[in-house]
Structure 1
Amino acid sequence: MSRDSRSDIAAALARRRLGCVAIGASAGGIDALFTVLEDLPASGPVPLVCVLHLPTGHDSKLAEIFGARLRLRVTEARPGERLAAGTLYFAPADYHLLVEPDRSFSLSCEAPINYSRPAIDALFDSCAEAFGPALLALLLTGANDDGARGLARVRAAGGLAVVQDPAEAQHPAMPQAALDRAGADLVLPLSRIRELLATLMRS
């Protein structure tokens, strides 16, 4: 497990050909996501898929909020839609978001996981199966332990696991739980995660 090294970032990306970035965040996640995504170019070689915990009973406005500020194409994932490079997808409210082996989206109304629907674990589990070593999974700030089990699945499938440094997270419980249960390939502050994504999206 490496912390905050530019050479580690370059080496991690050089060792693999990535096909997808899966991102999980909870409390404090909107600010964290803007920090890591706001400088990304309008096009790139991979899709980005995000689960951000939302209060139940409310429609998600995340695609509108982020689409107004980012250069990336931003949309809410739709069932049956195939993932497209250079696009940021958000899970719709009150559905688990899954990526199928053919790299299309599906939605699930199964019970909440870690009190959350959508759940980060559900996304990470399905992406690990669909992409294996071609997956980069990012876990950011949050106040529970969603994502820890899924990150372990990502690593077992050969994917690259990156966790926000709990010392700088607005809510450190989620990244710390992931490190305790799954470990990580890189533990980085948001500024270095932004750098990693910028390097990836320029490649």
Structure 2
Amino acid sequence: MASASERPQVGIVSDIILQRHRLQDATNRFGLEICFSGDPAKLMAYPDFPDASLWLITLEDEADHPQLFDHILENTEAPVLFGLDTAPSAGSTDYFRWERRLLDKLEQSLGHLEKLDSAATIEKLAEESARTTGAPALPCWIPPAAPSSIADEIWILGASLGGPAAVKTFLDNLPADLPVGFVYAQHIDGNFTRVLTRVLGRHAHYQLKTAESGYRIRNGDVVLMPVEHEWTLDSDGALEQRDKPWPGPYGPSIDQVLLNLGDHYSDRCNAIFFSGMGNDGAIAAPLLKAYGGRVWVQESTSCDNSSMPDSVAATGCAGFCGTPEQLARELVNTIEKSCLLKSREQPDSA
């Protein structure tokens, strides 16, 4: 068995090549290491039985391999999961639901798998922020948002491992007074929420604030979704806490945030997916795109872990991909183009 300091190792046995590949991709996305992947004959001939923390077994016909199960059970005390569902086509909504079911089974045997940023990692951002250069000026074609004005356009910032650093860089590269509000859905230990709020708002025009019931999102806000309970919007667009936890394994559920806000804002609701493990957001992102909203992702090489933005990109709904700095510039350019278009559509006041 793997030591407590190591990531769990998984053995995969399947006589279906495509199923093996998709199980490998999924387990890698959850940060697990593969110590064996092959068909039953390969495992039976293996000189030293692999030291896996968990075995995943999926066969086209179990009757074709009568000795396999005795061989596995004689050589390991690790949990063995049999009869896994066949993986659907990669990039489809069904595929990401299949991944979620697989994750649930893995965590039942191995415990919590998603890596989260530590308090020390978040605090380190305070040191790095001292080196942050000044934010750009607001382009002349963008009218500055009136103080405390209600946001007409919302951008959801979804992230997990590595997200705080990426989101801070993104916010630090935005000019003040943009006519937009942000909702920040970050997988994080609830004990670190205050640290995150303090550090990310230290040198940015956009201050983090925790969601409050009855509050309407304003331009310049970065509203942090709480971990413990699901939040939605009432008919007037005010934040509202529900008396139930977020669905799914982690809070806040980024998929649910997209659905809850998208229902109210429709094509005025957009999303950017930053660094993170897993595939949270990949199910709802295509639906947000269907509403008419924009979906962007952080490019892989600038992520601490690119599984989350890569999963969203695999659905084909991402309209832009870039570093946090490039995402900030693209947002400013997008708002500027929209303002220019509106100014040309307005009748001449003369």
TM range (shorter): 0.7 to 0.9
Are positions 1:117 and 2:256 aligned together?
A: no
User: What is the alpha-carbon distance in structure 1 between the residues aligned to residue 283 and residue 254 of structure 2?
Assistant: 9
Give the deviation of 1:64 after TM superposition. Answer: 2.0
Aligned with residue 159 of structure 1, among 293, 297, 305: 293
Of 208, 211, 217, which aligns to 1:77?
Answer: 211
CA contact (8 A) 1:149 1:182 kept: no
- Aligned residues with identical type, % of pairs: 22
- Is residue 144 of structure 1 aligned with residue 308 of structure 2? no
For the pair 1:49 / 2:183, whether they are aligned, the reply is: yes
The verdict on how the C-alpha distance between 1:172 and 1:183 changes in structure 2, with shifts beyond 3 A counting, is: same
- What is the match of residue 311 of structure 2? 177
Name 2:165's counterpart in structure 1.
31
The answer as to 2:230 corresponding to 1:96 is yes
Q: Which has the higher strand share?
A: 1
Partners of 2:335 and 2:175 in 1: CA distance: 7
Distance across 2 between alignment mates of 1:99 and 1:65: 27
Q: Distance in 1 between matches of 2:228 and 2:249?
A: 11
Matched, 1:60 2:211: no
With 121-130 and 24-33 compared, the bigger mean Cα shift is at: 121-130
The code of the aligned residue for 1:89 comes to V
Deviation at 1:47, TM superposition (A): 0.8
In the alignment, structure 1 segments of 5+ residues that lack a partner are 1-17
1:49-108 residue CA offsets vs partner (Å, 9 max, x unmatched)? 11111125x251122222222122331111111111111111123223323442211223
Change (3 A) 1:101 1:199: farther
> Highest relative contact order (Cα 8 Å, sep 6+), 1 or 2?
1
Q: Corresponding residue for 1:134? A: 268
Q: Deviations over 1:13-43 (max 9, x none)?
A: xxxxx71111100000011011101132342
Distance in 2 between the 1:39 and 1:177 partners?
25
Q: Is 2:306 the partner of 1:168?
A: no
Q: Tell me the equivalent position of 2:320.
A: 186
Pairwise CA distance, 1:126:
1.3
Query: Equivalents in 1 of 2:289, 2:234: separation in Å?
Result: 18
Unaligned runs of 5+ residues in structure 2 are 1-151, 340-350
Distance 1:114 1:167, change over 3 A: farther
Give 2:311's aligned amino acid: A
Aligned length: 185
The structure that has the greater radius of gyration is: 2
TM-score (norm 1): 0.81
Following superposition, the deviation at residue 48 of structure 1 comes to: 0.7
